Amino acid sequence: MTDTEGRAAARHGAGLKAWLPAIRPKTLGLSVSPVLLGTVLGATGQPEWHWLPALAALLAAMAIQVGTNLHNDAADYLKGTDTPDRLGPSRASALGLIDPQRVKQAALAAFTVAFLLGIYLVVWGGWPILLLGVASLLAGSAYSGGPWPISESPLGEMFVWMFFGLGAVGGSYYLQTGRLDVEVLPPAAALGSFAAAVLVVNNYRDRYTDAQAGRKTLAVLMSPAASRLEYSLLMLTPFLLPGVLWREQGIAWLLLPALAAALYLSSRIWRLPHGRELNGLLAATARFQLLFSLLFCVQLFLGG
């Protein structure tokens, strides 16, 4: 769809199809995976599963993801970051499908849903969940907003690793058990690493336009080869963590297909040309994170 066509569609009202580029449903696996893994880690071996807190945590995580996506869509357009030279998937505000102010209002609504769900989670889990929830909401709104947007800084990967790994997995585990245990850290760190790898592909693809817009992401500050190496390390080193591929019970055989997939994806970033071809790798990396979470959960169910 051309820019003119998009703005014409906006004049006739924005339906669900117009909102999809802003919501970016393909990214929701990034928020589902850590809640799923943390819940199964915590509930395995427990006398009962706490389904309602798990469901509330899942919906809250998805709401924060949607709110962040919507806020990014509007904020990047209003700041002039999204230009016709953008290599990533088209966005609703830039296409003129939806007024950016409406997109920002939708983002606020999503964050409000997450806040309301968070009230229940705080009642259930206490002050640790309150701190995590407030930090998540603030970070989600600050990712592309505020005077120092995280998305424009070298801290993006660290932010994603912390919130999509340690925070989301650890918080979901805590809701099931009421405590935090050391064995949660390796799988949480691994999942956060894979989520950070998704951001690496995004920033590596956009490094030229980001540099023109004055962004200081790691991909802008480092050489292309360094970005490719960063991606490979984020995809492969988690398998070396104790308690991931190598467990007390022996090798987690179900994770071997995930290791093979990680090796394949790591080789692709070294072979793909810079450009829109990287969109496929970005989507594949997001799917890989969900695959790893599912395989790890099945391994837990099997007692491995």
Q: CATH for 3-301? A: 1.10.600
The pLDDT assigned to 303 comes to: 74
Stretch 197-212: mean pLDDT, rounded? 91
Q: What confidence category does residue 219 fall into, taking pLDDT thresholds of 50, 70 and 90? A: very high
The pLDDT assigned to 190 comes to: 97
Stretch 18-41: mean pLDDT, rounded? 88
Give Rg (Cα) of the chain.
19
Q: What confidence category does residue 79 fall into, taking pLDDT thresholds of 50, 70 and 90? A: low
Q: Please give the structure tokens belonging to residue 122.
A: 């705080």
pLDDT in tens, 108-135: 999 899 989 999 999 999 999 999 888 8
Of 284 and 27, the one with more pLDDT: 284
Instruction: DSSP for 114-126, please give it.
Output: HHHHHHHHHHHH-
Q: What confidence category does residue 57 fall into, taking pLDDT thresholds of 50, 70 and 90? A: very high
246, β-bridge pairs: 242, 251
Whether residue 6 has pLDDT greater than 50: no
- What is the distance between the alpha carbons of residues 184 and 195, in angstroms, rounded to a whole number? 17
Q: Please give the structure tokens belonging to residue 68.
A: 């962040």
The pLDDT assigned to 11 comes to: 41
Q: Please give the structure tokens belonging to residue 195.
A: 């989520």
The structural domains of the chain, with segments of one domain joined by +, span: 3-301
Instruction: DSSP for 64-81, please give it.
Output: HHHHHHHHHHHHHHHTT-
| Phi, psi dihedral angles at 21 (to 5 degrees) | -60, -25
The pLDDT assigned to 8 comes to: 46
The pLDDT assigned to 17 comes to: 75
Q: What confidence category does residue 94 fall into, taking pLDDT thresholds of 50, 70 and 90? A: low
Which helix (H) or strand (E) is 246 found in, with range? strand 246-247
| Phi, psi dihedral angles at 223 (to 5 degrees) | -75, 160
Q: What confidence category does residue 47 fall into, taking pLDDT thresholds of 50, 70 and 90? A: confident
Whether residue 300 has pLDDT greater than 50: yes
The pLDDT assigned to 80 comes to: 64
pLDDT in tens, 160-200: 999 899 999 999 999 999 998 999 999 999 999 999 999 99
Mean pLDDT of the chain: 86
Q: What confidence category does residue 3 fall into, taking pLDDT thresholds of 50, 70 and 90? A: very low
Q: What confidence category does residue 1 fall into, taking pLDDT thresholds of 50, 70 and 90? A: very low
